[in-house]
Structure 1
């Protein structure tokens, strides 16, 4: 997934100093961003108030959109460094192509996981023949310094572990581990991502790790998370220090739970790059412009993205929160 802002802001993320050890209920507002030719997304992370949840550093929620007479998602080839992308769908399909030669259609409740490492390029689009509705989330995970130059890779996992919390709760483990169930997706830091379905009348508690910080992205319905009723497309930051999370729903609802150990390192994120310094970002942009390092994506009917101009102000740390 790409950040298609024509004037993307540089954001410094990470560090434990601003992570409260106590539970909180911090509702983060989304901003609307155009993605490609016909898709709009709600960007929830990075946010004016918060930039990371564990190693999760980017959250877009889109749909449900009626694309029966539209091309749907059309994101041209673009580069990444220093992160993993997670494609997660509730409705529709996304065709992934990358510079490793991967070509994979990702469908609802299947994990499309791309590790950029030192450099990769990819495109994402709705197939020519596609479902009427498109609804999902695109997520980024920052790689720790020891692994950010690893070899690029792509994984597709159609079968993911599920847990049942009773009282109307079922969850699919996208990444990491939850309540003893572990995803086959490769991770590089302690984290969790889980898709949680709540039946009408659900009253349940989901076990958590107190040393993780968490947030809940609501996908559909009207879930109540720790007593806060949330509309679809909302992100509720929950902080750390929790051993369980109360969940309730009067109507069928779903949410994505994201969490992990607070990310200790400071990193710099600009456009589609996650680095540690302005030089990391500048070199990645120059390499993409020159056609070096990232390889080519074959099969996409269109030109690759051009990197925006770097900001006129210096790329500098701004902290985990604003």
Structure 2
């Protein structure tokens, strides 16, 4: 998905804070994507309190949205650099086209992962049969050694596994005995967790990972800290278990993200990730010039998305609190 804000901010992101104790609760902010009938998303990463969780650098949570009323999703061809996009749906379908020639449908419970690297372009449109759209869009920052990696696209359908009172679908990394075959450039964890009513689950995790639990539905607690829908609970490194509890009489659902602290500083602006302001300027110029770096998306019935104007000044680095 594009970050289709009209005036995106440039963000310098640093490494995560040292290991500590306790769960940090991050609230989402509402962001409109697009024009007058914009798709409203709830963004929990990046924000002032925390820029990254592992290499996860961007998390948008949207829906459930009634497509006939809202117009659904229609994002024209747009670019990405220095990252991977992870698309995961709870309801609805999205048609994906990219400059690799990929034409795929994103469906609930099926992960589509696209590697931007040096440059890629893609479009995303909710399908005509979609009446409700609901899901998350996630970005992963590529490390310096691989930030110009070749374009790539992978599709994976994880099989559900049970752990305590939870059903888990692991789309990246390993959890509860399930391992995704999809390659990542840094160690990562990404999983959907559905918790039964009045149920709990204690999950063995890598103590070298920091974790974030993004609540979609229900009121959950993470290691004793209550989380409401659209909130993200951050757990620092150092723990080898995470305990999720659903005290309500309805099922609950969340996305668990994790990875070792990302030690590199990155600059994010619009749909680009670089290491400097100049990297962003160059990527924008290449996109506006229709450079071969990004390729062309075939089959989208409309024009590509123009890049917004750059800010007049470089925004100072923002780092996670110590």
TM-score range, shorter chain: over 0.9
Matched, 1:2 2:2: yes
> 1:107, 1:149 → 2: CA distance?
28
The answer for the alignment partner of 2:13 in structure 1 is 13
The answer for the alignment partner of 1:162 in structure 2 is 160
Call closer, same or farther: CA 1:321–1:6 in 2, change over 3 Å: farther
Unaligned runs of 5+ in 2: none
The answer for the alignment partner of 1:67 in structure 2 is 67
> 2:6, 2:321 → 1: CA distance?
23
Backbone CA RMSD of aligned residues: 1.5
Matched, 1:45 2:66: no
The answer for the alignment partner of 1:278 in structure 2 is 277
> 1:225, 1:307 → 2: CA distance?
39
The answer for the alignment partner of 2:214 in structure 1 is 217
> 2:38, 2:13 → 1: CA distance?
30
The answer for the alignment partner of 1:197 in structure 2 is 194
How far off is 1:68 after superposition?
A: 3.7
> 2:315, 2:226 → 1: CA distance?
38
> 2:73, 2:227 → 1: CA distance?
26
> 2:314, 2:132 → 1: CA distance?
42
How far off is 1:43 after superposition?
A: 0.9
> 1:283, 1:321 → 2: CA distance?
30
The answer for the alignment partner of 1:138 in structure 2 is 137
Unaligned runs of 5+ in 1: none
CA contact (8 A) 2:39 2:70 kept: no
How far off is 1:255 after superposition?
A: 0.4
> 1:3, 1:321 → 2: CA distance?
25
Alignment TM-score, normalising by the size of structure 1:
0.94
The answer for the alignment partner of 2:104 in structure 1 is 104
Secondary structure at the counterpart of residue 22 of structure 2: strand
> 2:76, 2:22 → 1: CA distance?
39
Secondary structure at the counterpart of residue 215 of structure 1: strand
CA contact (8 A) 2:209 2:237 kept: yes
Matched, 1:265 2:264: yes
CA contact (8 A) 1:51 1:321 kept: no
How far off is 1:321 after superposition?
A: 4.4
Secondary structure at the counterpart of residue 173 of structure 2: strand
CA contact (8 A) 1:38 1:74 kept: no
The answer for the alignment partner of 1:28 in structure 2 is 26
